[in-house]
Amino acid sequence: MSITAAMVKELRDASGAGMMDAKKALTENEGNMEAAIDWLRTKGLAKAAKKSGRTAAEGLVGVAVEGGVGVAVEVNSETDFVARNAEFQGMVTDITKAAAAVSDIEALKAADLGGKSVETVLTDKIATIGENMTLRRMAKVEGESVASYVHNGVADGLGKIGVLVALKGVDNGIGKQIAMHVAATNPASLSEADLDPALVAREKSVLTEQARESGKPEQVIEKMIVGRMNKFFEEVTLLKQKFVIDPDTTVGKAAAAAGVEVLGFVRLEVGEGIEKEEEDFAAEVAKTAGR
């Protein structure tokens, strides 16, 4: 019988298996849903469904640079134990390399990795390692040169924070220094023009109310707000931040002095923005040992 996309989706929802595995299970069992689920279970591919509800806020960021293109990928696991596992690290490295050839996270999930899709490889690892894992996000930058930096590295190109900096011009070492700066300061944007307008409006509103509390005349308040907003831009935009390597200058001026222009940057930190359930260390060890 013909295997439809709806049937594949239904089986994926029921089993947690990857798209290609679900399609194969249905094909092997002539579209019988229950038999397909049993087939996946015998192959160890349905175990992932039991793990999929658990929070995966640990893991690694992988970075790779080839020519003028840099890519960063975040793959999450439930515990740091798995992030230190050589098998998991190898998978993240392979996924990061595959990301260089695609444009977004959905294309990466479907990308080929040793004859299987990245999504299927991840599902297989969930079944064998025994933790929920997620391919959370990826980002790319392009320039005449790209510098990378990994903080809290566990292996080449793998760590808890991954940074890429795209430059116009020949990098003489300033690129990595700027990448280290980005890792430390986590700027909101490259420049004032790139800032989220909502963030700027919110900050201006707060500063306006604070200034009005002073009781000064409106024309004085307007000047106060201009000065305070400039201070805000200096704190949150990369090019205007004081350079951590040399606080007497800004990142933008340091780059110009080195003969390059910063075109863009990426900073991914493991678990950023994920609400993680608090669990004491002993419970984490016991949970891991019990799998």
Tens-place pLDDT, residues 126-156: 888 888 899 999 999 999 999 999 999 999 9
**pLDDT band at 39, cuts 50/70/90?**
confident
Residues 16, 48 contacting (CB under 8 angstroms): yes
**What dihedral do alpha carbons 118, 124, 125, 129 form, nearest 10°?**
170
Same domain, 93 and 215: no
Is residue 290 included in any domain, yes or no? no
Q: What 3-state class would DSSP assign to 157?
A: coil
- What Cα–Cα distance (Å) separates residue 204 from each residue in 195, 216, 219, 266? 13, 17, 16, 26
Residues 254, 174 contacting (CB under 8 angstroms): yes
Same domain, 87 and 147: yes
Same domain, 79 and 130: yes
Is residue 110 included in any domain, yes or no? yes
**Tokens 């849903």, residue located:** 33
Tens-place pLDDT, residues 58-84: 999 999 999 899 999 999 999 999 999
Same domain, 28 and 132: no
Quote the CA–CA distance of 15 and 7 in Å, as a whole number. 12
Tens-place pLDDT, residues 159-184: 999 999 999 999 999 999 999 999 99
Is residue 69 included in any domain, yes or no? yes
CA angle 262, 253, 164 (to 5 degrees): 25
Query: Nearest to residue 76, comparing CAs of 55, 101, 97?
Result: 55
- What Cα–Cα distance (Å) separates residue 212 from each residue in 125, 226, 227, 289? 58, 14, 15, 59
Is residue 277 included in any domain, yes or no? no
Is residue 237 included in any domain, yes or no? yes
Looking at residue 22, its amino acid is A
**pLDDT band at 208, cuts 50/70/90?**
confident
Same domain, 100 and 159: yes
Quote the CA–CA distance of 149 and 124 in Å, as a whole number. 30
Count CB-CB contacts under 10 A for residue 192.
16
Phi and psi angles of residue 113, each rounded to the nearest 5 degrees, phi first: -140, 95
**pLDDT band at 8, cuts 50/70/90?**
confident
End-to-end CA distance of the chain: 39
**CATH number for the domain including 36?**
1.10.8.10
Same domain, 72 and 33: no
Residues 80, 60 contacting (CB under 8 angstroms): no
The residues near 253 (Cβ < 8 Å, ≥ 6 apart) are 243
Quote the pTM value. Answer: 0.75
Same domain, 196 and 116: no
Q: What 3-state class would DSSP assign to 150?
A: strand
Quote the CA–CA distance of 219 and 221 in Å, as a whole number. 5
Is residue 219 included in any domain, yes or no? yes
Is residue 279 included in any domain, yes or no? no
Task: Determine which helix (DSSP H) or strand (DSSP E) holds 69, and give its type and residue range.
Answer: strand 69-77
Residues 183, 189 contacting (CB under 8 angstroms): no
Residues in the chain: 291
Same domain, 214 and 257: yes
Q: Are strands 261-269 and 133-142 parallel, antiparallel or unpaired?
A: unpaired
Residue 218 belongs to domain spanning:
192-262
Same domain, 79 and 123: yes
Token output for 130: 């025994």
Same domain, 267 and 252: no
**pLDDT band at 251, cuts 50/70/90?**
very high
Query: Nearest to residue 273, comparing CAs of 125, 153, 134, 69?
Result: 134
Same domain, 9 and 150: no
Q: How many domains are there within the chain?
A: 3
Count CB-CB contacts under 10 A for residue 224.
17
Same domain, 155 and 267: yes
Residue-by-residue DSSP string for 268-279: EETTTT------
Tens-place pLDDT, residues 89-126: 999 999 999 999 999 999 999 999 999 999 999 999 98
